[in-house]
Chains A and B, each alone.
Chain A
Amino acid sequence: MTEPLYRAEQLTRRYRNGGTEVLALDHVDLTIEPGRRLGIVGESGSGKSTLVRLLAGLDRPTSGRIWFEGTEITHLSERRLGFLRAAVQMVFQDPRSSLNPRMRVGDIITEPLRSRLVRRQLPDGIDHARRLAEVLDAVDLPTDAGRRYPHEFSGGQRQRIAIARALAPKPEILIADEPVSALDVSVRAQVLNLLTDLVAAQGLTLIVVSHDLMVVRHLCDQLAVMRQGRIIEQGDTETVYSQPGTEYTRALLAAIPRIRTAG
């Protein structure tokens, strides 16, 4: 049996928000196999973003343990997390705030290649300029985009820049936190197609966080529904859709706005 990519046991995350204590994750168990495309669905407060931040090593759990490729990463120091940083890349929700407005697009995309931690994991002599051209091509942006600044691009284009940045260090896993929620509906299809193509072409493992079940349906073959810090339902995407196991999942499915043609 192949080693699971991620293993999480009893993951719990508590933090203080002003005076109150918030339980963002409540003893979550999760296993992710390599090559899978997992969707984590839930509304605000479900803990989905907290969970993926823990998986990406951007946060530490209050209790519980995480393993990545067999190595426990729960309490590893930043210095020793190089292998995680090189293998796992994230795409964030808001294309307006996930790109440094004062950096050129080319520098933004190649920034992961400049980190010492990541460089140690990569093959020697990665040519930044060539890699930049490769990923710009992969996300269907013109080669001169590298010289421009983020504000010169539309929301959909900026999200593609964010994807290019994530792809630059040749990761194995792509974590997308609400990749299209901040985009206009008409622009979403393009980014979704791009993600699907890239994941397939590069054999990536994909983890998508979304409150939109339709988005997840197109990107993922497996689904986990979260509510109030717990995973309440898990399984193949199509199965969950056609036979939702919980009342909450049914409510989520029913709430998706459908075009109403009657008056």
Chain B
Amino acid sequence: MSLLEVRDLRVSFGRRRVEAVRGVDFDLDDGQRLGLIGESGSGKTVTALAVMGLLPENATVTGSVRLRGSEIIGAPEAALAQLRGDAVSLVFQEPMTALDPTMRVGRQVAEVLRLHQGEESGPARERVISMLAEVGLDDPARIADAYPHQLSGGQRQRAILAMALINSPDLVVCDEPTTALDVTVQALVLQKLDEVLTVSGAACLFISHDLAVVSQVCDKVMVMLDGQVVETGTVAELFTNPQHPYTRGLVATARLDQTRPGQRLPTVEDFYAPDTSVGERP
């Protein structure tokens, strides 16, 4: 039994049943790192939300998402809340909205710990500080006592990483975790993510539109287009021998430095011509 088993996941929204995810299947084993790559509107974020049971009220979900054998779809909120932060944790794109601006960072990280482990404040603080150090924050004690607005974007995102990993989850779901960060900070956060995942042995579902970023953390990648998975393979396979024309387009556009300056850059449309017209994208 895999850690995560997704079978024929279909998600649509609203009364007009706009289909965001149209039949996605995949397995994720313990410790495995799987990247989910696609453009905005491909359904990748919706898939991640479905795995966490975090879809909004107007979503219609069918299919099966099993975490260690327990079905997520349709599970009661209380049961899901138990899983989140403990067996599964989440790292989203905007560090500022994921942190409560009125609470010190250390306390927020500790709260995740207390919710699931029920530890007292003394030993919790030590665990928090050591976790903050593990994600590469210098002077973790000071960071723990700081408010979110006093930290830089990279520091906040690493604090969120600490929150995500402090309970040693089995699965970490990351949705564009570094998109809002500067390029040097992004490199650092990705490196740290790779390290702490290796140390903790957690599995990772990494969602992004950037193949180069995904490849820093994951070895296997699924390509999503219009709600479906069109290709799966290791980064090496996708890079050297892409099968689907859309994948070829993605790989070609993933590295701007492969084209000489002054030359025309290859675009996705050179490889894959969608038959959608203006107005179909959500």
A residues with a Cβ closer than 8 A to B are: 43-44, 141-142, 145, 148, 152-155, 157, 184-190, 192-193, 196, 211-215, 217-218, 237-238, 251-252, 254-263
With a cutoff of 8 Å between Cβ atoms, the chain A residues found around residue B190 in the complex are 257
With a cutoff of 8 Å between Cβ atoms, the chain A residues found around residue B264 in the complex are 193, 196
| Cβ-defined partner of A237 (8 Å) among B41, B182, B219, B261 | B261
Q: Is B199 among interface residues, defined by CB-CB distance under 8 A?
A: no
With a cutoff of 8 Å between Cβ atoms, the chain A residues found around residue B254 in the complex are 185-186, 259
Q: Is B31 among interface residues, defined by CB-CB distance under 8 A?
A: no
| Cβ-defined partner of B235 (8 Å) among A152, A189, A213, A261 | A261
With a cutoff of 8 Å between Cβ atoms, the chain B residues found around residue A252 in the complex are 183-184
Q: Are the CB atoms of A218 and B281 closer together than 8 Å?
A: no
With contact pairs A155-B40, A218-B259, A255-B183 given, residues A186 and B209 touching in the complex (Cβ less than 8 Å): yes
Q: Are the CB atoms of A154 and B41 closer together than 8 Å?
A: yes
Q: Are the CB atoms of B39 and A187 closer together than 8 Å?
A: yes
With contact pairs A214-B256, A215-B256, A261-B239 given, residues A154 and B215 touching in the complex (Cβ less than 8 Å): no
Q: Is B124 among interface residues, defined by CB-CB distance under 8 A?
A: no
Q: Are the CB atoms of A259 and B211 closer together than 8 Å?
A: yes
User: Bound state CA distance, A213 and B257, in angstroms?
Assistant: 10
A251 (CB) vs chain B CBs: closest residue: B184
User: Bound state CA distance, A188 and B261, in angstroms?
Assistant: 15
User: Bound state CA distance, A146 and B250, in angstroms?
Assistant: 30
Interface centre among A155, A186, A218 (most CB of B within 10 A): A186
Segment at the A interface, from B16-24, B73-81, B129-137, B265-273: B265-273
Q: Are the CB atoms of B279 and A148 closer together than 8 Å?
A: yes
Q: Are the CB atoms of B249 and A186 closer together than 8 Å?
A: yes
With a cutoff of 8 Å between Cβ atoms, the chain A residues found around residue B115 in the complex are none
Q: Are the CB atoms of B215 and A261 closer together than 8 Å?
A: yes
With a cutoff of 8 Å between Cβ atoms, the chain A residues found around residue B256 in the complex are 188-189, 192, 214-215, 217-218
Q: Are the CB atoms of A261 and B236 closer together than 8 Å?
A: yes
User: Bound state CA distance, A196 and B255, in angstroms?
Assistant: 18
A220 (CB) vs chain B CBs: closest residue: B261
User: Bound state CA distance, A176 and B76, in angstroms?
Assistant: 49
Q: How far is the CB of A195 from chain B (nearest CB, A)?
A: 11
Q: Are the CB atoms of A255 and B184 closer together than 8 Å?
A: yes
**Interface residues on chain B, number (Cβ under 8 Å):** 42
With a cutoff of 8 Å between Cβ atoms, the chain A residues found around residue B168 in the complex are none
User: Bound state CA distance, A254 and B253, in angstroms?
Assistant: 20
A and B contact pairs by CB, cutoff 8 A, 15 listed = A43-B185, A186-B209, A189-B266, A189-B268, A190-B269, A212-B183, A213-B183, A217-B256, A218-B259, A255-B183, A255-B187, A257-B183, A259-B215, A260-B212, A263-B219
B225-238 interface code vs A (CB 8 A; 1 in, 0 out)? 00000000011100
Q: How far is the CB of A160 from chain B (nearest CB, A)?
A: 11
Q: Are the CB atoms of A142 and B278 closer together than 8 Å?
A: yes
Q: Are the CB atoms of A185 and B209 closer together than 8 Å?
A: yes
B residues with a Cβ closer than 8 A to A are: 39-41, 153, 182-187, 190, 209-213, 215-216, 219, 234-236, 239-240, 249-250, 253-257, 259, 261, 264-269, 278-279, 281
A210 (CB) vs chain B CBs: closest residue: B183
Q: Are the CB atoms of A184 and B211 closer together than 8 Å?
A: no
User: Bound state CA distance, A190 and B265, in angstroms?
Assistant: 8
| Cβ-defined partner of B186 (8 Å) among A141, A155, A187, A255 | A255
User: Bound state CA distance, A255 and B182, in angstroms?
Assistant: 10
With a cutoff of 8 Å between Cβ atoms, the chain A residues found around residue B261 in the complex are 217-218, 237-238
With a cutoff of 8 Å between Cβ atoms, the chain A residues found around residue B281 in the complex are 153-154
Q: How far is the CB of A252 from chain B (nearest CB, A)?
A: 7
Interface centre among A142, A215, A261 (most CB of B within 10 A): A261
| Cβ-defined partner of A43 (8 Å) among B182, B235, B266 | B182
User: Bound state CA distance, A260 and B221, in angstroms?
Assistant: 12
User: Bound state CA distance, A142 and B278, in angstroms?
Assistant: 9
User: Bound state CA distance, A186 and B265, in angstroms?
Assistant: 11
With a cutoff of 8 Å between Cβ atoms, the chain A residues found around residue B187 in the complex are 254-255, 257
Q: How far is the CB of A37 from chain B (nearest CB, A)?
A: 10
Q: How far is the CB of A208 from chain B (nearest CB, A)?
A: 13
Q: Are the CB atoms of B250 and A44 closer together than 8 Å?
A: no
Q: How far is the CB of A223 from chain B (nearest CB, A)?
A: 11
| Cβ-defined partner of A257 (8 Å) among B216, B268, B278, B279 | B216
With a cutoff of 8 Å between Cβ atoms, the chain B residues found around residue A155 in the complex are 40
With a cutoff of 8 Å between Cβ atoms, the chain A residues found around residue B250 in the complex are 186
Q: Are the CB atoms of B182 and A186 closer together than 8 Å?
A: no
User: Bound state CA distance, A252 and B212, in angstroms?
Assistant: 16
Q: Are the CB atoms of A145 and B236 closer together than 8 Å?
A: no
With a cutoff of 8 Å between Cβ atoms, the chain B residues found around residue A213 in the complex are 183
Q: How far is the CB of B18 from chain A (nearest CB, A)?
A: 14
Q: Are the CB atoms of B257 and A152 closer together than 8 Å?
A: no
Q: Are the CB atoms of B210 and A185 closer together than 8 Å?
A: yes
Q: How far is the CB of B27 from chain A (nearest CB, A)?
A: 18
